[in-house]
């Protein structure tokens, strides 16, 4: 399926639903699809992110959905949540979606105005540095959330995403999409282009998977697959990211991880395997506590190759994230200065 074909399916789905969405004011494409030319093939095991501007969403048209063979990931922003162009230019997770024309529908005309203004300022060095700083502040927020009083999956998630957002700082500096699941794959490519591959090994070392071998990651994926199936069958309540533990989510998390491993990027698959397992554990804790206990030993075995055996290890790893962050910012500055598309 080409990007053009995927975009058409997504647009058609939005317009079919628009009349039934309360307060519908527009929609736009978010994420990696905005970086791809229309005639490119949509990457395997990928979804298309759509943000709806509305008062609320219908449950049947939110989260991960499969439509005409395409996985859509639909989320919502309220009318007052989007902000002005200058606010968006400083938000690293949102600005990239407005770099190129991305509007699906625009009732008020505001989305089109914002997109044009963000596009004009996107590559200015001031805003690139602001977005890098925005990502750095997110690292600190994740570190603050890592508290030993929090349930283990919450501790692991905070540790993991503090590490993962370090890659986003660099991707933002390179004017790349701060992708979610394939962030390590993307930053590896970026650093290679800037002759900074040695620093990639430092990033992987910070996560703990520099020396992890393919067989270990394949075992991690097998363990994840088991708990994914159990969780999907037992989930009841609306826990965070429960929608990702679904048939559509399986294509992304399980098949997508297998594709990375099979392509020789087993180390790059570790991040999302751990993230998804942690989400499953959180759901089981709330919806099937006995199963949570049954899978706790597997959880520790999953973390063991990364050097995580206890909450104390997580605390030490978080301190390491604080220490490496200034170096990440220095490397980001090297990328900014070396990027000819960035202007003063």
Angle (deg, nearest 10), helices 266-287 and 289-303: 160
> How much of the chain, in percent, has pLDDT values that exceed 70?
100
pLDDT of residue 62: 82
Mean pLDDT, residues 265-293:
97
User: Residue 17 CB: number of other CB atoms within 10 A?
Assistant: 17
In terms of Cα–Cα distance, which of 214, 166, 209, 157 is closest to 187? Answer: 166
Domains, the chain, in order of start with CATH, read 3-121 (3.30.460.10), 126-327 (no CATH)
CA separation for the pair 37, 257 (Å, rounded):
24
pLDDT of residue 238: 86
pLDDT of residue 196: 97
Task: Flag whether pLDDT at 149 surpasses 90.
Answer: no
Task: Flag whether pLDDT at 55 surpasses 90.
Answer: no
pLDDT of residue 180: 94
Mean pLDDT, residues 265-277:
97
> How much of the chain, in percent, has pLDDT values that exceed 90?
86
pLDDT of residue 145: 87
Q: Which pLDDT band holds residue 82 (cuts at 50, 70, 90)? A: confident
pLDDT of residue 298: 94
Distances in Å between the Cα of 266 and the Cα atoms of 43, 111, 119 are: 18, 39, 35
Mean pLDDT, residues 268-286:
97
Mean pLDDT, residues 232-259:
93
Mean pLDDT, residues 154-183:
96
What pTM was estimated for this model as a whole?
Answer: 0.95
DSSP notation for 133-179? HHHHHHHHHHHHH--TTS-HHHHHHHHHHHHHHHHHHHHHHTT----
Mean pLDDT, residues 107-124:
95
CA separation for the pair 64, 71 (Å, rounded):
7
3 state DSSP class of 62 = coil
User: Residue 284 CB: number of other CB atoms within 10 A?
Assistant: 24
Q: Judging by beta carbons within 10 Å of its beta carbon (0-12, 13-18, 19+), is residue 133 exposed, middle or buried?
A: middle
Q: Judging by beta carbons within 10 Å of its beta carbon (0-12, 13-18, 19+), is residue 222 exposed, middle or buried?
A: exposed
**What 8-state DSSP symbol labels residue 42?**
P
């Amino acid at each position: 399926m080409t990007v053009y074909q995927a975009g058409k399916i997504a647009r058609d789905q939005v317009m079919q639903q628009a009349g039934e969405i309360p307060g519908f004011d527009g929609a736009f494409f978010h994420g990696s699809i905005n970086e791809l030319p229309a005639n490119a093939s949509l990457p395997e095991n990928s979804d298309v992110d759509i943000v709806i501007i509305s008062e609320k969403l219908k449950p049947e048209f939110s989260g991960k959905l499969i439509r005409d063979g395409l996985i859509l990931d639909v989320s919502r922003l309220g009318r007052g949540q989007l902000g002005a162009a200058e606010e968006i230019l400083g938000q690293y997770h949102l600005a990239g979606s407005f770099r190129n024309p991305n509007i699906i529908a625009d009732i008020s005309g505001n989305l089109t105005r914002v997109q044009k203004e963000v596009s004009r300022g996107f590559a200015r060095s001031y805003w690139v540095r602001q977005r890098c700083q925005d990502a750095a502040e997110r690292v600190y927020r994740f570190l603050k959330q890592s508290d030993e009083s929090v349930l283990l999956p919450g501790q692991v998630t905070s540790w993991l995403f503090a590490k993962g957002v370090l890659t986003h700082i660099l991707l933002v500096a390179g004017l790349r999409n701060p992708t979610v699941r394939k962030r390590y794959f993307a930053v590896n490519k970026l650093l290679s282009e800037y002759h900074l591959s040695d620093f990639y090994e430092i990033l992987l070392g910070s996560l703990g998977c520099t020396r992890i071998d393919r067989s270990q990651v394949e075992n991690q994926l097998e363990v994840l697959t088991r708990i994914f199936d159990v969780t999907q069958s037992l989930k009841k309540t609306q826990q965070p990211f429960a929608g990702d533990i679904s048939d559509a989510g399986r294509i992304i998390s399980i098949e997508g991880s297998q594709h990375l491993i099979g392509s020789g990027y087993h180390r790059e698959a570790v991040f999302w395997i751990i993230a998804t397992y942690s989400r499953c554990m959180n759901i089981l804790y709330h919806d099937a506590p006995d199963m949570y206990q049954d899978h706790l030993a597997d959880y520790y075995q999953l973390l063991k190759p990364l050097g995580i055996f206890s909450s104390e290890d997580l605390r030490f790893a978080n301190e390491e994230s604080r220490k490496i962050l200034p170096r990440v910012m220095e490397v980001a500055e090297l990328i900014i200065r070396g990027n000819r598309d960035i202007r003063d």
